[in-house]
C-alpha cells in the first residue's frame, strides 16, 4: 500500500510541466499536513521533477534523463548571470538549446535566432521584439531595461526577458562554463545507469525461512539476496555462508546481516566499486531515500562499467585531465618507466613554485600507469605517505620514476620519486586498491 509521501510524489510527477506548486495547495489537495507536503516537494526537487525559481515559486519542470547532456533552463541562467526577470516568468522552466550574441544588424541576426535559444544583446528594443517573435528568449546585458510593450509580449509568449549587469563577454563566458560543466557531468556514470528496470530482483521477505533461500538458490543460481519488509525497505542481506549449518525452518532474520551497505541511484560507480572492494562484498542493494529497494548491482556489473568508461570518448576535460595531459613518457633505455613534466603557470602556487596538490596529482597518475603495466585493472589510491624535499620553479622540468614494491590481487604498493635534473625533490609511497 502506498504511503502519503509516495502518493504526493506520484501526484507531482503527473502534473503538467510548468504547473505551479505550493505546500499549502498540495496539503489541501491531498488532505495531508503541510509538513508532509513540504517533505514530498523537497523529495521531488531532489529527483529533478520540480524547481524553485526566485520571485516565481516552485514549478513542475521537465526531468532530465540520466546519461544525456543536461541543457540549462532559463531559471538557471538567471542565477548564473546574477540577473533578474523583466517578463515572461511562466517560461523560466524551459530549456535553452543554444545562445546567440546579437552583435549585428537585425536582418543578419534573424538567420541565427531559433526557437528555444537565448539572444544576448544590449538595449535594442527592435532586437528584443524580433527575438521573441521567433521563439527565443532575451538576455539584456549592461543592466538595461526593456520596454513595456516587449515585456507584455514576453508574458504573452511565455518567453523570459532577463537583465544582467554584466557585459556581453562576461555573460557568454559564464553560460559557456555552465554548459561545459554539464558536459563533464554527462561523462560520470552513476548507479542509476546500471539499473535495469526490466530485470527481476530476487528478494527474501522478513517472514521467509531459510528453506525459501535454498529454493531461490536452486531456481536462480544466485547466493546473495536482500531481505525486505512489507513496505519493500531493505532490512538485511543473506549469503551462502550465513545459512550454513542452519535449520530450514529458521527465519532469515536470525541469520541475515543487518543494516547492510547500500548505494543510491545517484552514487558514482567509482565510489560503489571502492566500497565493494574495500568491504569484500559481491552484491549491493540499490535503495531510494526511504530505503526502498530499487534493484541490486554486483561487483561484476560495476567493474564492467568502469572498463567501459575508460573506452568511452570524453566530452570535457576536468582539472585533473588538464594537469596529466602534460605528462610525457620518456624512453631512458632502462626497463623502468619515466615520465617528464614541464611546470606551466597554471601548475604553480602564489609563490611561483609547483603546487603541492598538482605534484601529488602527477605522482598519483604515474603510480597508476605503473600498476597498469603489470595488470589490466583499474586502481584507486587508498593511502599515501608524501615527502616534499625541494621546491620546483616555473618552467623547470620534473621527472617521475615509479616502481612497484608489492603487488597482490587486491592491493598494490608503489614508490614514486620526483627528480629535478639529478636532485631528488619528492617521494611518495602509495597503497593502491585494485578494482
**How far, in Å, CA of 127 to CA of 118, rounded?**
12
Q: Over 60: is that where the pLDDT of 70 sits?
A: no
Instruction: Measure the N-to-C terminal CA separation of the chain; round to a whole number of Å.
Output: 40
- Once rounded to an integer, what is the mean pLDDT over residues 289-294? 83
Q: Which of 117, 30, 23 is nearest to 77 (CA)?
A: 117
User: Which residue do the cell numbers 498540495 mark?
Assistant: 26
Q: Which three cell numbers stand for residue 120?
A: 544576448
Q: Over 50: is that where the pLDDT of 69 sits?
A: no
**How far, in Å, CA of 423 to CA of 199, rounded?**
58
User: In the chain, which segments carry CATH 3.10.129.10?
Assistant: 319-434
DSSP E strands in 7-130: the ranges are 20-21, 50-53, 57-60, 84-87, 98-101, 117-121
Kindly report whether the global pTM for this prediction surpasses the value 0.75: no
Class of domain 74-186: alpha beta
**How far, in Å, CA of 122 to CA of 120, rounded?**
7
Give the count of beta carbons closer than 10 Å to the beta carbon of residue 313.
5
The pLDDT of residue 290 is 78
User: 63-77, 128-142, 286-300 — which is least confidently predicted?
Assistant: 63-77
Q: Over 70: is that where the pLDDT of 11 sits?
A: yes
pLDDT single digits (tens) 21-34:
888 888 888 888 88
The pLDDT of residue 404 is 92
The pLDDT of residue 311 is 54
More confident residue, 304 or 108: 108
**How far, in Å, CA of 71 to CA of 118, rounded?**
12
- Once rounded to an integer, what is the mean pLDDT over residues 325-333? 81
**How far, in Å, CA of 3 to CA of 298, rounded?**
30
The pLDDT of residue 71 is 66
CATH 3.40.640.10 assigned to domain 4-60? The reply is: no
Phi, psi (rounded to 5 degrees) for 298: -105, 165
Q: Which three cell numbers stand for residue 425?
A: 625533490
Instruction: Let me know: does 434 contact 303? Beta carbons within 8 Å.
Output: no
Q: Over 90: is that where the pLDDT of 128 sits?
A: yes
pLDDT single digits (tens) 166-185:
999 899 888 888 877 776 66
Give, in order, the Cα–Cα distances in Å from 186 to each of 169, 190, 256, 312, 313: 26, 10, 37, 11, 11
Percent of the chain residues past pLDDT 90, beyond the cut: 30
Rounded to 10 degrees, the C-alpha dihedral 53/57/62/65 comes to 60
Please name the residue ranges forming H helices in 63-114.
Answer: 74-80, 106-109
- Kindly state the DSSP code that residue 381 receives in the 8-state scheme: E
The pLDDT of residue 309 is 61
Give, in order, the Cα–Cα distances in Å from 404 to each of 161, 324, 360, 407, 433: 60, 20, 17, 7, 13
Q: Which three cell numbers stand for residue 432?
A: 593502491
pLDDT single digits (tens) 218-247:
888 888 899 999 888 899 999 888 888 888
Q: Which of 95, 69, 99 is nearest to 164 (CA)?
A: 99
Q: Which of 381, 398, 393, 390 is nearest to 432 (CA)?
A: 381
As a whole number of Å, the CA-based R_g of the chain is: 28
Please name the residue ranges forming H helices in 48-167.
Answer: 74-80, 106-109, 125-133, 148-157
Edge-to-edge strand list for the sheet holding 225-228: 204-205, 225-228, 234-238, 257-258
More confident residue, 160 or 97: 160
User: In the chain, which segments carry CATH 3.40.1390.20?
Assistant: 74-186
Helix, strand, or coil (residue 265) = coil
Pairing of strands 257-258, 283-287: unpaired
Average pLDDT, the chain: 85
pLDDT single digits (tens) 353-401:
999 999 999 999 999 988 888 887 778 888 999 999 999 998 899 999 9
User: In the chain, which segments carry CATH 1.10.10.10?
Assistant: 4-60
Instruction: Let me know: does 116 contact 93? Beta carbons within 8 Å.
Output: no
DSSP E strands in 331-422: the ranges are 338-342, 379-388, 397-407, 411-420
pLDDT single digits (tens) 141-160:
999 999 999 999 999 999 99
Q: Decide: residue 201, CB within 10 A, 0-12 exposed, 13-18 middle, 19+ buried.
A: middle
What angle do the packed helices 23-30 and 34-47 form, to 10 degrees?
110
192-309: which CATH topology? CBS-domain (3.10.580)
DSSP E strands in 141-206: the ranges are 161-163, 204-205
319-434: which CATH topology? Thiol Ester Dehydrase; Chain A (3.10.129)
Q: Over 50: is that where the pLDDT of 407 sits?
A: yes
Amino acid at each position: 500500500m502506498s504511503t502519503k509521501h509516495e502518493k504526493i510524489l506520484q501526484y507531482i510527477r503527473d502534473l503538467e510541466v510548468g504547473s505551479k506548486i505550493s505546500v499549502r495547495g498540495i496539503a489541501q489537495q491531498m488532505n495531508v499536513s503541510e509538513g508532509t507536503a513540504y517533505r514530498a516537494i523537497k523529495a521531488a526537487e531532489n529527483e529533478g521533477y520540480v524547481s524553485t525559481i526566485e520571485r516565481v515559486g516552485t514549478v513542475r519542470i521537465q526531468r532530465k534523463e540520466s546519461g544525456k547532456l543536461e541543457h540549462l533552463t532559463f531559471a538557471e541562467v538567471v542565477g548564473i548571470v546574477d540577473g533578474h526577470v523583466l517578463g515572461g516568468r511562466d517560461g523560466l522552466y524551459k530549456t535553452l538549446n543554444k545562445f546567440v550574441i546579437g552583435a549585428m544588424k537585425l536582418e543578419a541576426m534573424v538567420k541565427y535566432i531559433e526557437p528555444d535559444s537565448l539572444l544576448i544583446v544590449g538595449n535594442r528594443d527592435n532586437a528584443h521584439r524580433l527575438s521573441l517573435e521567433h521563439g527565443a528568449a532575451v538576455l539584456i546585458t549592461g543592466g538595461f531595461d526593456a520596454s513595456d510593450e516587449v515585456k507584455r509580449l514576453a508574458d504573452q509568449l511565455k518567453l523570459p526577458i532577463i537583465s544582467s549587469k554584466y557585459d556581453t563577454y562576461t555573460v557568454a563566458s559564464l553560460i559557456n562554463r555552465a554548459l561545459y560543466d554539464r558536459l563533464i557531468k554527462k561523462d560520470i556514470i552513476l548507479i542509476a545507469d546500471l539499473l535495469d528496470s526490466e530485470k527481476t530482483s530476487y528478494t527474501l521477505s522478513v517472514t521467509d525461512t531459510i528453506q525459501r533461500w535454498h529454493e531461490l538458490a536452486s531456481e536462480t543460481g544466485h547466493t546473495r539476496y536482500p531481505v525486505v519488509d512489507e513496505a519493500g525497505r531493505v532490512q538485511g542481506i543473506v549469503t551462502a555462508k550465513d545459512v550454513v549449518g542452519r535449520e530450514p525452518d529458521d527465519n532469515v532474520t536470525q541469520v541475515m546481516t543487518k543494516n547492510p551497505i547500500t548505494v543510491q541511484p545517484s552514487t558514482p560507480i567509482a565510489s560503489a566499486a571502492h566500497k565493494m572492494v574495500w568491504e569484500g562484498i559481491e552484491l549491493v542493494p540499490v535503495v531510494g531515500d526511504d530505503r526502498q529497494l530499487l534493484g541490486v548491482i554486483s561487483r561484476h556489473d560495476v567493474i564492467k562499467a568502469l572498463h567501459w568508461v575508460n573506452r568511452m570518448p570524453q566530452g570535457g576535460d576536468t582539472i585533473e585531465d588538464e594537469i596529466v595531459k602534460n605528462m610525457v613518457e620518456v624512453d631512458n633505455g632502462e626497463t623502468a618507466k619515466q615520465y617528464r613534466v614541464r611546470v606551466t603557470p597554471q601548475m604553480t602556487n602564489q609563490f611561483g613554485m609547483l603546487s603541492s596538490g598538482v605534484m601529488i596529482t602527477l605522482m598519483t597518475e604515474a603510480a597508476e600507469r605503473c600498476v597498469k603495466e603489470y595488470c589490466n585493472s583499474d586502481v584507486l589510491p587508498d593511502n599515501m605517505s608524501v615527502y616534499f624535499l625541494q621546491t620546483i620553479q616555473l618552467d623547470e622540468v620534473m621527472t617521475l620514476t615509479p616502481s612497484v614494491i608489492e603487488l597482490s590481487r587486491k592491493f598494490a604498493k608503489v614508490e614514486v620519486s620526483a627528480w629535478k635534473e639529478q636532485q631528488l625533490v619528492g617521494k611518495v609511497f602509495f597503497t593502491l586498491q585494485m578494482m
